[in-house]
Structure 1
Amino acid sequence: MLDAARAMSGLEAMAVLLGVAYLLLAMRESIWCWYAAFISTSLFLVIFWDVQLLMEAALQVYYLIMAVYGWWHWRSGRNHNQEHDNAAPIRSWHWHQHALAILLIVVAALASGFVLQKTTDAALPYLDSFTTWGSVVTTWMVARKVLENWLYWLVIDSAAIYLYLDRELYLTTGLFALYLVIAVFGYLQWLKHYRHQNA
């Protein structure tokens, strides 16, 4: 049992380090962020399944797919006149796109939270569902290079901190606290690039 716990903490530490690498590389608009995301996600899939965060485990499968899609989208849309090793330029959504995204997250979280509560022994089903569906939408925004993704992450990561503390995933909790800080700098850096590209 002790060996299994040590192995799990080692996996969690590696997943956390790669998670930090992913976000720092994404902030710099480096296509290498998707490689870090793919490996980190594979590790978190095992970890979340082990602690019965079923929606978070399912989310990791989506993240694996989005890591491949994000890599492809950033690479295929590359503009060689841009300063960064990215693909498509940063875009900004209109208020009605944000309203639709938020409505989708809330409805999906309530529906899956209800199903999980009634049919499984999932921990914190509504919060698990909220962070999962919020992450689904926001990861799509990152892959499409939507500026406001960083603001969404501030809300989702704050909720995730409580979720991971409850499951005693302390390294992952620390990662998401760090994510909050990185998200602020990520937003400011992308905003600067967004203004520069549209100048």
Structure 2
Amino acid sequence: MSWLNASFTLFGEHVLWTDLLGNALSLAVVYLAMRKTLWTWPVQLTGALLLLAASLHAHAPGNALKQVLFCGLAVFGFWSWRQGRQTGGSLLVRRATARERLVLGAVLLGGTAVVAQLFIHLTWLQVAWSPWANAYIFVGSAVATFAQSRALVDFWIVWILVDLVGVPLALKSGLYVSAAVYGIFFFMVMAGFRDWLRESRRPVESARMRDAVAA
């Protein structure tokens, strides 16, 4: 399994192939999610496994645990999107309700507080830099991916918030490719949010047109 630790030097920096390939697939996931294809989830699962190997090598347990969680969420997301397509042929995206946003926000804040305490007190995790940042990324990534599995437009917003912390954390952990990818993520996520938000408005606009005709 030595290939898991294979690396090369780029501009004087040590880069793992697992980190590079895993992040390349992560970028592909964003593009596939924008297109609402079921391939989003198998690609995300593969990327998560590669990034898990890179995180273990870099001694970044918070990120490693996040990738383990991603594997489970990728399976759930595939099942959820597949069910959605079976009933309507095309995945219907929508904005979260006020209650759903409240729940997502509460899980993000409360989960971050709980996981941060685990990172602080469970010494075997060896979170040397900012347990709170690691916890925030761990919980935020889970919340975003779950919201994505439910086809909620709001998942793009959560990813933006995660990116703002992910860049400095990746740099501190020595995952330079991950840091660069987080930066690219920001612009792709903004484009995805724009597209999904526009699509989520179409059913509302169609309903208004039908009401106007009926009147």
Q: TM-score w.r.t. structure 2 length?
A: 0.83
Aligned length: 194
Counterpart of 1:172 in structure 2 is: 178
Counterpart of 1:189 in structure 2 is: 195
Counterpart of 1:52 in structure 2 is: 59
Task: State the secondary structure of the residue aligned to 2:144.
Answer: helix
1:104 maps to amino acid: V
1:24-43 deviation line (CA, Å, top 9, x unaligned): 01011111111210110001
CA distance in 2, matches of 1:111, 1:14: 32
Task: State the secondary structure of the residue aligned to 1:172.
Answer: helix
How far residue 73 of structure 1 moved from its aligned partner, in angstroms, is: 1.4
Counterpart of 1:130 in structure 2 is: 136
How far residue 74 of structure 1 moved from its aligned partner, in angstroms, is: 1.1
State the percentage of identical aligned residues: 22
Counterpart of 1:73 in structure 2 is: 80
Match of 1:159 among 162, 165, 173: 165
1:54-95 deviation line (CA, Å, top 9, x unaligned): 22211211111111111121112216865xxx53x1121123
Task: State the secondary structure of the residue aligned to 1:145.
Answer: coil
CA distance in 2, matches of 1:144, 1:69: 10
Structure 1's 79 and 196: CA in aligned 2 closer, same or farther, altered over 3 A? farther
Q: CA RMSD in A?
A: 2.1
2:136 maps to amino acid: F
How far residue 183 of structure 1 moved from its aligned partner, in angstroms, is: 0.7
Counterpart of 1:117 in structure 2 is: 120
1:141-184 deviation line (CA, Å, top 9, x unaligned): 00000011111111111111111011121111111111110110
Counterpart of 2:145 in structure 1 is: 139
Match of 1:94 among 77, 97, 100: 97
Q: What runs of 5+ residues in structure 2 fail to find an aligned partner? A: 9-14, 207-215
Structure 1's 79 and 155: CA in aligned 2 closer, same or farther, altered over 3 A? same
Structure 1's 154 and 95: CA in aligned 2 closer, same or farther, altered over 3 A? same
- Is contact 2:119-2:127 (8 Å) kept? yes
2:201 maps to amino acid: R
- Aligned pairs for 1:37-48 within 5 A: 37-48=44-55
Task: State the secondary structure of the residue aligned to 1:78.
Answer: helix
Q: What runs of 5+ residues in structure 1 fail to find an aligned partner? A: none
Counterpart of 2:18 in structure 1 is: 11
Out of 56-65 and 7-16, give the one that drifted further: 7-16
CA distance in 2, matches of 1:193, 1:168: 38
